[in-house]
Amino acid sequence: MSGMKAVGPVSAGERVEVMDVLRGVALLGILLMNIEAFVGPMMESITGVNPRFSGIDRSVDAAIYVLVQGKFIAMFSLLFGMGFAVMLERANAGGRSGTALYARRLLALFGIGLVHALLIWSGDILLTYALLGFVLLLCFRRTPVSRLPRWGVALYLLPLLLTWAMAGFATLAQQDPQAIAEFQKGMATQARQMAALVDGQRQAFGAGTYAEAVAQRATDTGAMLGFLVFFGPTLLGVFLFGAWFMRSGTIPHSAAHLPLFRRLRNLGFGIGLPLMLWSAWTHPTMSFSQMSIGSAAAQTAAQVANLLLMLAYLSAIVLAMQLPAWAKRLRWLAPAGRMALTNYLMQSVVCTLVFYGYGLGFFEQLPRAWQPLFVLALFALQVGFSHWWLARYRLGPMEWLWRWMTYGQRPAMHVALS
């Protein structure tokens, strides 16, 4: 049709710089969160402060839980929602719906995520993003901008209804010996299942062969997908916040929305941080064998705090980008953000080869207090590599592959020499 333009990928000149910086920051935060799941059993790393730690190890673990865990996966998810909005907006501007193109993009991401989850690391998030991306595409492609935050809040908080329902049932069951016995039996079964996963991960990743690790990753991936009904709505809600940030013009024209970013920063640090501290103080570790009104309140506080602190971090970065001295420093992270997919997968490859039994075998050998230093060293290498690579090539290796799989045409790779 003559009124339609071909929809192509975003060129270097069209990129929103602050998004690349945010991706770089999110990569660092995700590695700070994931490193515990590389060094030891993954299922032990998702329950808050690990009760096995003491002294400086426990202090570091608590700091990561309060300041990092849940916040940067939310930022990464927000950026995924922004990317969704960018692609569809460009398609609409070209006179197309963009549905088929985005579906191909999601199918390609699903394939990459499946390979990552089964062959490299079962803590993969790409598979989940691809599956939820189809929900985003089918249900929210035409949602008016003004409704995106409302849907975002509703979906983000939806899983908490189940948490409170379980806590309420546990409280009411105290009046009925038979009911409480059945409830406790169910919780004990759940706790045994989680303990079995932890033991399986410890054996397969700490001392097993590569084939045994792949088998365990298949088990882990199935378990994680089973949990999708619980945490999927939360991620989908964050996607919608990201779509709002783009479609409302708040991120593309951030300099015109500085009062909003100041309010989000102040709200996040002023309310989100105290909520998170209270949650960590009262219930530092989530138990799979117990549920109460107190634990439900702590989980609710942590869930709300994760979102508020993520928005505070994002806003602080956007505001810092308005200051020349800070903008110059933060721009060093942009190349890592432009290669976010490559760097995310590279983190998994490097860490599994360092810590798993079929690699160097340092599983459960690196103290928790030293793990952030390992993260900073690896991330610094990634930033340097990203600068080197993008000085020579247009795209990161996995970005190049993903784009080829999406558009069906092999992209140009080498930077044109002037």
* Per-residue pLDDT tens over the stretch 275-326: 999 999 999 998 776 778 999 999 999 999 999 999 999 999 999 999 999 9
In 3D space, the residue among 305, 289, 234 whose CA is nearest the CA of residue 81 turns out to be: 234
Confidence tier at 173 by pLDDT (50, 70, 90): confident
**How confident is the model at residue 70, as a pLDDT?**
95
Q: What is the pLDDT of residue 6?
A: 45
Residues 319-346 pLDDT 10s: 999 999 999 999 999 999 999 999 999 9
Structure tokens at 217: 């990753």
**Nearest of 410, 366, 414 to residue 390 by alpha carbon:** 414
Average pLDDT score, the chain: 91
In this predicted structure, what is the pLDDT of residue 178? Answer: 76
Per-residue model confidence (pLDDT) at position 95: 58
3-state secondary structure (DSSP) of residue 249? coil
For residue 92, is pLDDT > 90?
no
User: How many CA atoms are closer than 13 Å to the CA of 94, on its beta-carbon side?
Assistant: 16
CB 282 within 8 A of CB 294: yes
> Six-digit token pair at 96?
């197309």
| Cα–Cα dist 162/216, whole Å | 29
Is pLDDT above 90 for 229?
no
- Smallest CA-to-CA distance from 310 within 22, 48, 42 is with 22
| Predicted local confidence at residue 417, as pLDDT | 56
> What's the pLDDT at 5?
46
Q: Can you give the pLDDT at residue 78?
A: 97
Name the residue among 25, 228, 235 with its Cα closest to residue 117.
Answer: 228
Separation CA 86–CA 103 (nearest Å): 14
- Rounded distance, CA 209 to CA 215, Å? 10
To the nearest whole percent, how much of the chain has pLDDT over 70?
94
Residue 287's pLDDT is 77
Q: Are 60 and 376 in contact (CB under 8 A)?
A: no
In the Cβ-directed half-sphere of 355, how many Cα atoms lie within 13 Å?
29
Indicate the pLDDT class of residue 388, thresholds 50, 70 and 90. very high
Least confident of 9-23, 28-42, 122-136, 344-358: 9-23
Identify the band that residue 3 occupies on the pLDDT scale cut at 50, 70 and 90.
Answer: very low
Buried b / exposed e over 335-363, threshold 16 CB at 10 Å, is: bbbbbbbbbbbbbbebbbebbbbbbeebb
Q: Cα-flanking dihedrals φ and ψ of residue 43, to 5°?
A: -70, -20
What pLDDT is attached to residue 10? 54
* 176 pLDDT higher than 50: yes
- What are 44's two structure tokens? 């032990």
Residue range 155-169: mean pLDDT, rounded: 90
- Residue 327: predicted pLDDT: 96
pLDDT band at 189 (very low <50, low <70, confident <90, very high): confident
Bigger pLDDT: 66 vs 175: 66
133: closest CA among 161, 174, 104? 104
DSSP state of 143: -
pLDDT at 182 over 80: no
Whether residue 81 is predicted with pLDDT greater than 70 in this model: the reply is yes
